[in-house]
Amino acid sequence: MFLKINPIPLKKRMKEIAYDYLFILCYLIGLFVLAMIFYSIVFRGIPEMEESAAQLVATMTSVLPIIFIFSYLDFTKNGSFGKRKAGLQVVYQKKTIGASLLRNVVKFIPWQLGHMGTIHGMYSEEPTGAILLSVTSILSALVLFSMATYRKDKRHLGDFIAQM
């Protein structure tokens, strides 16, 4: 049931974000530990990579799994771990896995852009591209956060694109 005015208090929204951040942080710590074990056994250390390989590894091991996990939780449980802990839920106009995936792709675009900017900055001697990606990441995250926090209906860009 979509509400034109959705009175979610800022405190609830911050609680949701904090729990989701903690969930993602735990995932990334676990991923780091597994990667270090894998690299030490298979490669006897961290292998050197081209920038494109580093971009691919970051996308495939961190961003895509988180998008899939959050999409699954939104679709099956009507919200992420943080959303449920805060007493909130995702409301669909038409509940499909595609809508959930699209919503989460848009939601995590700032994170992907941040990865891309950081990795590009590590490999490039010219910082312009890295700075552009990083600034775009921060600005898009602020837009999504502002929409989800300050719009009367509390929907962000991903909700609109996924027609939620």
Tens digit of each residue's pLDDT (9 = 90 or more) over 17-62 = 999 999 999 999 999 999 999 999 999 999 999 999 999 999 999 9
Domain count, the chain: 1
Residue 98 domain-assigned?
yes
Give me the mean pLDDT over the 141-145 stretch: 95
Residue 150 domain-assigned?
yes
Helices H, strands E: what count in the chain? Answer: 7, 0
φ, ψ of residue 148 in degrees (nearest 5): -70, -20
Residue 39 domain-assigned?
yes
> What pLDDT shows up at residue 31?
97
Residue 75 domain-assigned?
yes
Question: Cα–Cα–Cα angle for 35, 73, 163, nearest 5°?
Answer: 120
User: Are 43 and 1 within 8 A, CB to CB?
Assistant: no
Most confident of the following: 114-123, 142-151, 153-162: 114-123
> What pLDDT shows up at residue 6?
78
Query: What is the model's pTM?
Result: 0.90
Mean residue pLDDT of the chain comes to 93
Residue 3 domain-assigned?
no
Residue 155 domain-assigned?
yes
What lies within 8 Å, CB to CB, of 67 at 6+ separation is 101, 104, 105, 108
Find the farthest-apart pair of alpha carbons in the chain and give their distance in angstroms, rounded.
Answer: 56
Give me the mean pLDDT over the 113-120 stretch: 97
Residue 5 domain-assigned?
no
What lies within 8 Å, CB to CB, of 143 at 6+ separation is 156, 157
> What pLDDT shows up at residue 10?
87
Residue 102 domain-assigned?
yes
> What pLDDT shows up at residue 1?
54
> What pLDDT shows up at residue 94?
87
The residue among 26 and 10 whose pLDDT is bigger is 26
> What pLDDT shows up at residue 3?
65
3-state SS class at 46: coil
Give me the mean pLDDT over the 92-121 stretch: 95
What's the domain range around 107?
A: 10-161
